[in-house]
Structure 1
């Protein structure tokens, strides 16, 4: 059977482990970085490196990078018009490429705080400050030349992101009784693998751990575990949202590696 080609746009905190996982799944993997100095690292991991910058315009061999079956897009979103225009150019390039499927990484920050659980990925109240991100999703979602599945990740932890380091001792944290929405790196990878293996295209998923402890409880425990003094938490409850992962569990039959945020704190080391 011919190997599938998987292109990862942005080999950073999430993109690099994703690329490595698909190398291990016997894909031919292309990975982009903005600096040529990272090429050696990618090569050592079995990833074909490309230097590609998407800012006011696209720089790099984007045409060859897009000679692929599946494109994984994970880039920090910026509101500036040149950034948006550059990605409109990218969409046109994808239309002319061999790409048939796109996995687009977005954020649960597109949802407004409705003081309730959010289960519906289609009918919801947009966070007005994130409307541009929602429109950015639709650049890909609404294109008929390729199939796009969107994953809206909650706050990302794992790898180099130890939640015990999120708040310093002298920090005062508001709304500390609000439930938190986080997801571990290993589950991010597992969900992407499940979507591609099961060919779940043209779908939007919310991705968060199953449990939602309060901000005060979780970050106090995480900080103390590192032997540090926790921040000052103002124990009040204002606006919040709870991100449900039920669609992932039922539609993908995905079993979370770290469903319980408090129980999984033991994996983090100083």
Structure 2
């Protein structure tokens, strides 16, 4: 299982591809942009143009053992077409990158057993989960940060930050990549995992420290009596994979 195709060469997909290469995997990568093909080649990744909304055939790209889906598309028809092609390909395992946004604000700790919102994303999750031609593990990542994606740069131009009493659910890119590598290495399939730092400071505390530590003005917060929050639990991914988060102090970002 050393041949991996990554659908999506964005902020996460690029770093993931490089990490997989370092681990000895052969990696194919896809983009929807002709301009990124050279970047893929420069990183020793076999490049492909793939847009699932175009309903083209992706036979060569899907000639691999594992497919990692790291795109933000919510095109259900496009994913149905992709799945049909996976069924007739050599792909045996799929990792589908999802989001903890599938959970509503329930004002309590959220686990994988909790009910999810009815959205295109949860419908797409189910398309993969219910397919019997291949095995899928779904990872619901919390808010993503790392490298140039720093929370000090969010809520600019006088935008007030909502829900200051709510709690932060975040995960660093390095932890995202390591969790994916562990799932592959441990052959952990047919699972759904939340992936989020164990640290949940309030939004007021988190964004104030993030901005001050980067010499940005103290942010303004919305003043509201409505108190909506959720705390995402990553207990399962830690117990099943034996995973320890690298970036587990969100006030030192």
Report if the CA contact (8 A) 1:169-1:231 is conserved.
Answer: no
Structure 1 counterpart of 2:132: 144
Q: State the TM-score, normalizing by the size of structure 2.
A: 0.96
Find the counterpart in structure 1 of residue 250 from structure 2: 261
- The residue aligned with 1:218 is 206
Compare 138-147 and 32-41 and name the one that shifted more.
32-41
Aligned match for 2:47, one of 40, 46, 49: 49
Kept in 2, the 8 Å contact 1:110–1:127? The answer is yes
> SS of the counterpart of 1:14?
helix
1:157 is the counterpart of 2:149? no
The reply to whether residue 63 of structure 1 matches residue 59 of structure 2 is: yes
Query: Is 1:85 equivalent to 2:77 in the alignment?
Result: yes
Contact 2:76/2:120 (8 A) holds in 1:
no
User: 1:16 matched to which residue of 2?
Assistant: 14
Structure 2 Cα separation of the partners of residues 170 and 67 of structure 1: 48
Contact 2:92 2:135 in 1 (8 A): yes
CA displacement at 1:46 relative to structure 2: 1.3
Give how far 1:172 is off: 1.5
1:262 is paired with a residue whose SS is helix
Counterpart in the other structure of 2:103: 111
Give 1:58 deviation, angstroms.
2.8
Instruction: Find out whether 1:75 has 2:65 as its counterpart.
Output: no
- In the alignment, the residues of structure 1 paired with residue 12 and residue 137 of structure 2 have an alpha-carbon distance, to the nearest angstrom, of 17
The equivalent residue for 1:202 is 190
Contact 1:167 1:230 (C-alpha < 8 Å) held by counterparts: no
What SS class does the counterpart of residue 88 from structure 1 fall into? helix
Instruction: Supply the distance in 2 between the matched residues of 1:89 and 1:175 (Cα, whole angstroms).
Output: 39
Q: What is the DSSP-based 3-state SS (H/G/I as helix, E as strand, rest coil) of the residue aligned with 1:159? A: coil
Tell me: CA distance 1:226–1:169, structure 2 relative to 1, closer, same or farther (3 Å): farther
CA contact (8 A) 1:73 1:103 kept: yes
How far residue 230 of structure 1 moved from its aligned partner, in angstroms, is 2.4
Q: Measure how far apart 1:203 and its partner are.
A: 0.2
Give the equivalent residue in structure 1 for 2:221: 233
- 1:268 corresponding residue in structure 2: none
1:163-207 CA deviation, whole Å, 9 max, x = no partner? 101122512222101001000000000000000000000000000
The aligned residue for residue 95 of structure 1 is: 87
1:243 maps to which residue? 232
- The SS at the match of 1:251 is helix
Looking at structure 2, the residues matched to 216 and 169 of structure 1 have their Cα atoms a distance apart, in angstroms, of 18
Q: Hey, what's the Cα distance between the residues in 2 that align with 1:153 and 1:214?
A: 19
Task: Give me the TM-score of the superposition, normalised by structure 1.
Answer: 0.90
Q: Tell me, yes or no, if the aligned pair for 1:169 and 1:232 is still in contact at 8 Å.
A: no
Aligned-residue offset at 1:34: 0.9
